[in-house]
């Protein structure tokens, strides 16, 4: 009789404990260290001049890939962000390329065909190369230097430019945990 009451008490405690945890759970999304959230992506600018292949390896060493652009909203957000982090960088590597003998461009970081290609005027130039950069026009006047928005341009993959790495948002669930002496919050990867 006593053992059946203990089993019932244990089951009731277990059920109520899970209800409590579910009621105090929150999901958060954060970027890896040194990355900044821009348009739902985590971006990191590297001003060091590298070719496409070195840039790609650098991003992979950070558990990231080179930048891919999915739509106009992302491009607008990136163009708003760039003047604050790269005011003097008119050209930056993306993951876009048509390596492997294909006629279409692909985002190497996602493996998806590049459907949104906001070309700079006069681009693409097929003989210019197989890799894509974001390129802006620079205008110098007596008042100062201005840069247009960055749009896609074709470039040979062994040329040098700075690059932008892109990492996925890290999703965590925070749970309010009860300790006999204190409350504390734990972040659990989702």
Instruction: Kindly report, residue by residue over 144-185, the tens digit of the pLDDT.
Output: 878 899 999 999 999 999 999 999 998 888 766 565 555 555
Q: What is the mean pLDDT of the chain?
A: 85
pLDDT exceeds cutoff 80 at 7: no
* Res 190: pLDDT: 63
Query: In the structure, what pLDDT confidence band is assigned to residue 43 with cuts at 50, 70 and 90?
Result: very high
Q: Measure CA 94 to chain center.
A: 12
Specify the higher pLDDT residue, 19 or 60: 60
* Res 97: pLDDT: 96
Question: How many CB atoms sit inside 10 A of residue 112's CB?
Answer: 11
d(CA 118, CA 90): 16
Superfamily of domain 33-170: Mannose-Binding Protein A, subunit A (3.10.100.10)
30's enclosing H/E stretch is: strand 25-30
Q: In the chain, what are the domain boundaries?
A: 33-170
Instruction: Collect contacts of 122-128 with beta carbons under 8 A, ≥24 apart.
Output: 123/151, 123/152, 123/153, 123/154, 124/152, 124/153, 124/154, 125/153, 125/154, 126/154, 128/153, 128/154, 128/155, 128/156
* Res 145: pLDDT: 78
- Select the highest-mean-pLDDT range: 10-14, 20-24, 65-69: 65-69
Least confident of 14-23, 131-140, 142-151: 14-23
169 CB-near residues (< 8 Å, 6+ apart)? 29, 30, 31, 37, 40, 41, 42
Sole residue written with tokens 């003097």: 88
Query: In the structure, what pLDDT confidence band is assigned to residue 59 with cuts at 50, 70 and 90?
Result: very high
d(CA 163, CA 7): 61
- Strand pairing of 106-107 and 112-113? antiparallel
Segment 35-39 mean pLDDT: 96
Sole residue written with tokens 């590298």: 50
């Amino acid at each position: 009789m006593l053992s059946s009451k203990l089993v019932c008490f244990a089951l009731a405690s277990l059920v109520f404990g899970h209800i409590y945890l579910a009621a105090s759970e929150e999901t958060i999304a954060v970027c890896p260290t040194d990355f900044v959230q821009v348009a739902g992506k985590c971006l990191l600018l590297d001003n060091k001049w590298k070719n496409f292949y070195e840039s790609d390896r650098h991003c992979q060493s950070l558990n990231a890939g080179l930048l891919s652009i999915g739509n106009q909203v992302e491009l607008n957000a990136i163009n708003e962000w760039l003047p604050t982090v790269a005011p003097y960088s008119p050209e930056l590597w993306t993951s876009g390329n048509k390596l492997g003998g294909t006629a279409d461009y692909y985002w190497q970081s996602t493996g998806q065909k590049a459907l949104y290609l906001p070309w700079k005027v006069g681009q693409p130039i097929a003989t210019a190369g197989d890799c894509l950069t974001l390129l802006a026009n620079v205008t110098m006047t007596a008042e100062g230097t201005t840069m247009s928005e960055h749009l896609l341009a074709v470039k040979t993959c062994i040329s040098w430019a700075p690059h932008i790495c892109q990492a996925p948002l890290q999703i965590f669930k925070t749970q309010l945990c009860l300790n006999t002496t204190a409350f504390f919050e734990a972040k659990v990867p989702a």
